[in-house]
Structure formats: C-alpha cells, structure tokens
Amino acid sequence: MDGIGCLNDAEKRTLNQIRGNSYCHIFAFVEEYIIPMVMDHARDNVYGDETRLHYLLAFAQQEVKHQRMLERAMDQISAGLGTTCGIIPRREQVAEVVLGKSRLTALLLTSMIEWFTQLHYKEHVQDDRDLDTLFRDILKFH
C-alpha cells in the first residue's frame, strides 16, 4: 500500500479492508463445492471402511468451519467499514458446475486450491508483520 501515493493512511486502511474482504469472499466462493463433494464421497462409503468415512466427515466438518470463519470475517470487515461489500453472486451454481465434472477433476481442483493457499500463506503472509494479526490467523487457519 505504500506505493499508492494518492491515498492517505485512513484510505489505505479502507482499501486494505476491502481487499481482505475480497480475499475471504473468493475463498468462500471457490470452495463452495467442497462440502457437498466430500459428503457425496462419504455417502458412498457409509458401509465398509469406517476409518475412511471418519476422515471424510472430519474433512467436511473442517470445511464447514472454514466457510463460517470466512463469512464471520466478511461480516466483521463490513461492520468495520460501515457498509456491506458486494460479492460475486451464484456461488452455488458454480459449485454445481464443478460437481458436474468427474470426481477426479473436483479432487484435483481441491488439491490445487489447498496447495496454492498454503504456498501463498508461506510466501506472502506468514512473516508479514505489517498484516493485521487476526487476518494473518484467518489465512493461516484456512
């Protein structure tokens, strides 16, 4: 933000909050399909390998927690800004498109998302002391 000379400190902070909200929304948006995908896998494994079922359900539970955490963060950012940020509509329809592809495609997409979020955190967030501690934690626990 230091490179943006036309904004004062308060405006830079507001822009940062908008960017943080966008970041949370994008992850909530693109991961919308993961919970139903994992639940479909769990449904297919109800009988048989209980260990596999346990881990699939635990994964779905973690994704629900991530979705709630991101939504709470967006609510808090909006409250701090005093206005609601716009969001991309129809995330459920996008999830349906992903789920309409092969299971392998959805699993590969999930792996890619998990990989690049971890890489982004490690390379750009983990040691950045200029970022808000709470926001860094949101990205860490996501």
For residue 111, give Cα distances in angstroms to 63, 64, 77, 99, 118.
13, 17, 28, 15, 11
Q: What pLDDT score was predicted for residue 99?
A: 92
CB 66 within 8 A of CB 38: no
Query: How do residues 3-27 score in pLDDT, each as one tens digit?
Result: 778 888 888 888 888 888 888 888 8
Query: How do residues 74-133 score in pLDDT, each as one tens digit?
Result: 898 888 888 888 788 888 998 999 999 999 999 899 899 889 888 888 888 888 887 778
Q: What pLDDT score was predicted for residue 2?
A: 62
4 is written with which tokens? 């943006």
Closest CA to 19 of 35, 38, 4, 34: 4
Please calculate the CA angle 70-2-4 and round it to the nearest 5 degrees: 90
Question: Which residue, chain included where needed, has tokens 């955190």?
Answer: 121
Query: How do residues 16-61 score in pLDDT, each as one tens digit?
Result: 888 888 888 888 888 889 999 999 988 887 788 889 899 999 999 9
Terminal CA-CA length for the chain: 24
Q: What pLDDT score was predicted for residue 128?
A: 82
